[in-house]
Structure 1
Amino acid sequence: MAHRVNPFDDALRQALATASRRRSYNPGIGAFETATTQEIVAEGWHGAYRWPVRKDPIFTPIFTAILGSGGFTLFGTTVSYAAIASAIATTAIVAGVQYLLTPKPPKPEDGRAPLTQPIPYRFWGVGEARLAGPMMLWEAVDNRMYSVQAIVGHRINAYTGYYLNDDKVELDGNTVISPDGDRYNDADPVRIYRRLGLTPETAIAEIVADLGAEGVWTSEHRGDGQASVGMTCNAPGAENFQKRFPYGKPALSVVAELALVWDFRDPAQDPENPATWAFSKNSALTLAWHECFNPFGTKRDFRKALLPVLDMWQEEADVCDEDVPRAAGGTEKRYECGGFDTTDHDPKSGTNAILASCDGWMCERGDGALLFVAGKFREKYVATLTDADIVGHTVQHDVLFEEEVNQFIPKFTYPATDFTTTDTDFFEDTPAQIEAGRVLPQDGNYIWVQQWRQARRLGKREFARLREKKRGTFDVRFTGINAVYAPWVRLATPRRLPSMDGKLIANRRSALSVSRGGFQMTWIKMPGSGPEIDDWNPAVDEGAAPPVPAKPVSDGIPKPIIDTAAAISGSGTVYIRLALVDPNRSDLTPALRYRVADVGGGVPGAWIEQKFPGIAPDAGLIVLNTNPVPADTSINIEAVYIGSNGSYGDYSDSETVVSTVDNTPPATVSGVVATGGVGQVALTWNTPNSGNYVATNI
Structure 2
Amino acid sequence: MARALFISVVFWLALVMPATAGPLAGLIAAIPAIAALGSTAASLIGWGVTAALAIGASLLLAPKAQTPTPSDVSGVVKQDVPARWVHRGRRRVGGALLFAEVKAGNLHLLIANQHGRCEAFERTLLDGHEVVLDGLGLVTGIVGSGENPYPLYTIQVVTRPGTDDQTAVGELTGTFPELWTSDHRVRGTALTYIWQGYVDPENFSKVYPNRIIQVEQIGRFGQAYDPRDATTAWTQNIALLLGDYLTSADGMQIASGYINMPRLAAAADLCDEEVPIKGGSTIPRYNGGLSYSMDADPASIISRYLTAMDGRLTLLADGTVGIDAGAFSEPTVIFDDSCIIGYELRAGGDPASEANDIRAQFTFAGADYVAADADPWRDEADIAASGEAKTATLSLFEVEHHNHARRLMKLAAARALPAYQGSITTNLKGLEAWDQRFVRIRGTLYSLDHTFEVLNIALDPATMTVTLQVVSLAAAAYAFDAETEEGTAPTIPDDDDAATIGPPEGLTVTRSYRTVSSGVRAPVLEVAWDAPLRAYSTAQAQISVHGAGAWRDITLVRDANPPQAGLAESVSDGTEYDVRVRWRAPDTDWSTISTETAIGDPDAPDAPTAVAATPVGGGSVDILWLAPVSARYAGARIYGNDVDDFATADLLSDLPGAPSPNLQSHRLTGLAADTWYFWVTAVNGSGVESAEAGSGATTIT
Cα deviation, 1:589-638, whole Å, max 9, x if unaligned, reads 9xxxxxxxxxxxxxxxxxxxxxxxxxxxxxxxxxxxxxxxxxxxxxxxxx
Distance change in 2, residues 1:464/1:400 (3 Å): closer
Q: Which residue does 2:302 correspond to in 1?
A: 351
Deviation at 1:550, TM superposition (A): 5.7
Q: Distance in 1 between matches of 2:10 and 2:337?
A: 20
TM-score normalised to structure 2 length: 0.62
Counterpart of 1:438 in structure 2: which amino acid? E
Deviation per CA, 1:14-40: give whole Å up to 9, x if none.
xxxxxxxxxxxxxxxxxxxxxxxxxxx
1:281 paired with 2:281, answer no
Task: Give, in angstroms, the shift of residue 119 of structure 1.
Answer: 0.9
SS in structure 2 opposite 1:502? Answer: strand
Q: Indicate how the Cα distance of structure 1 residues 464 and 145 shifts in structure 2: closer, same or farther if over 3 A, else same.
A: same
Counterpart in 2 of 1:206?
A: 171
Specify the SS of the correspondent of 1:523: strand
Distance in 2 (alpha carbons) for counterparts of 1:477 and 1:147: 66
Tell me, in whole angstroms, the C-alpha distance in 2 between the residues paired with 1:70 and 1:585: 92
Going from structure 1 to structure 2, the CA distance change for 1:300 and 1:368 (only over 3 Å counts) comes to farther
Query: 1:55-77 CA deviation, whole Å, 9 max, x = no partner?
Result: xxx98874437979777369xxx
**1:92 correspondence with 2:39:** no
Given that residues 155 and 226 in structure 1 are in contact (C-alpha distance below 8 angstroms), is that contact kept between their aligned partners in structure 2? yes
How much has 1:387 moved relative to structure 2?
5.1
Q: Which residue of 1 aligns with 2:83?
A: 121
Alignment of 1:336 with 2:287, yes or no, is yes
State the match for 1:522 in structure 2: 469
Tell me, what secondary structure is at the counterpart of 1:486?
coil
From 181, 192, 195, the counterpart of 1:218? 181
What does 1:422-441 correspond to in 2, within 5 Å? 422-441=372-391
Aligned mates of 1:219, 1:198 — CA distance in 2: 15
Note the alpha carbon deviations across 1:615-674, whole angstroms, 9 max, x for none: xxxxxxxxxxxxxxxxxxxxxxxxxxxx9x9xx99xxxxxxxxxxxxxxxxxxxxxxxxx
1:622-661 alignment, distance < 5 Å: none
- Contact 1:488–1:504 (8 Å) recurs in 2: yes
| 3-state DSSP of counterpart to 1:220 | coil
Question: Structure 1 residues 60, 149: closer, same or farther in 2, change over 3 A?
Answer: closer
Shift of the 392–201 alpha-carbon distance from structure 1 to 2, 3 Å rule, reads farther
Aligned counterparts, 1:413-492, within 5 A: 413-474=363-424, 479-492=429-442
DSSP-derived class of the 1:160 partner:
strand
Q: 1:247-305: CA deviations, max 9, x gaps?
A: 221121211211111111014x2xxxxxxx11111111111111112x33211111012
**Aligned counterpart for 1:193 among listed residues 158, 161, 166:** 158
Following superposition, the deviation at residue 555 of structure 1 comes to 7.9
Residues 225 and 386 (structure 1), Cα distance of their counterparts in 2 relative to 1, 3 Å cut: farther
Higher deviation after alignment, 326-335 or 237-246: 326-335
| C-alpha contact 2:138 2:156 (8 A) present in aligned 1 | yes
Which consecutive unaligned segments of at least 5 residues does structure 1 have? 1-8, 10-57, 270-276, 557-583, 590-642, 650-698
- Show CA shifts across 1:164-210 (max 9, x none): 23223232221123326876523452111111111122111111111
Measured after TM superposition, the shift of residue 469 of structure 1 is 4.8
Equivalent in the alignment of 2:222: 259
Q: 405, 408, 412: which one pairs with 2:362?
A: 412
Q: Specify whether residues 539 and 119 from structure 1 end up closer, same or farther in structure 2 by C-alpha distance, changes over 3 A only.
A: same
The 3-state SS of whatever aligns with 1:217 is coil
Q: Distance in 2 between matches of 1:519 and 1:534?
A: 28
Query: Matches of 1:418 and 1:182 in 2, distance apart?
Result: 20
Going from structure 1 to structure 2, the CA distance change for 1:64 and 1:514 (only over 3 Å counts) comes to closer
Shift in Å, 1:143: 0.8
Q: Establish whether residue 107 from structure 1 lines up as the match of residue 69 from structure 2.
A: yes
Displacement of 1:519: 5.8
CA pair 71-283 structure 1, distance change in 2 beyond 3 A: farther
Q: Deviations over 1:64-119 (max 9, x none)?
A: 37979777369xxx936332365466563978xx68x2224311110121121111
Contact 1:412 1:455 in 2 (8 A): yes
The structure richer in strand per residue is 2
Q: Which of 225, 233, 236 is the aligned partner of 2:199?
A: 236
Amino acid at match of 1:458: L
Contact 2:349 2:418 survives alignment (8 Å) = no
Match of 1:621 in 2: none
What residue identity is the alignment partner of 1:441?
Answer: T
TM-score of the aligned structures, taking structure 1 as reference length: 0.63
* Between 547-556 and 414-423, the greater mean CA deviation after superposition: 547-556
Q: Percent identity?
A: 23
State the match for 2:273 in structure 1. 322
Contact 1:104 1:353 in 2 (8 A): no
- Kept in 2, the 8 Å contact 1:409–1:441? The answer is yes
**SS of equivalent to 2:98:** strand
* d(CA) in 1 for partners of 2:117, 2:225: 13
Greater RCO between the two (CA within 8 Å, min separation 6)? 1
- Name the residue aligned to 1:299: 253
Residues 70 and 260 from structure 1, CA distance in 2 versus in 1: closer, same or farther, beyond 3 angstroms?
farther
Which of the pair has more CA radius of gyration? Answer: 1
Contact 1:104 1:350 in 2 (8 A): no
Retained in 1: the 8 A contact 2:94–2:215? yes
Distance in 1, Cα, partners of 2:498 & 2:56: 50
Measure, in 1, the Cα distance between the counterparts of 2:332 and 2:140: 57
Please say if residues 430 and 467 of structure 2, whose CA atoms lie closer than 8 Å, have aligned partners that are also in contact.
Answer: no
Give the number of aligned pairs: 485
Distance 1:80 1:431 in 2: 44
Alpha-carbon distance between aligned partners in 1 of 2:334 and 2:273, rounded to the nearest angstrom = 28
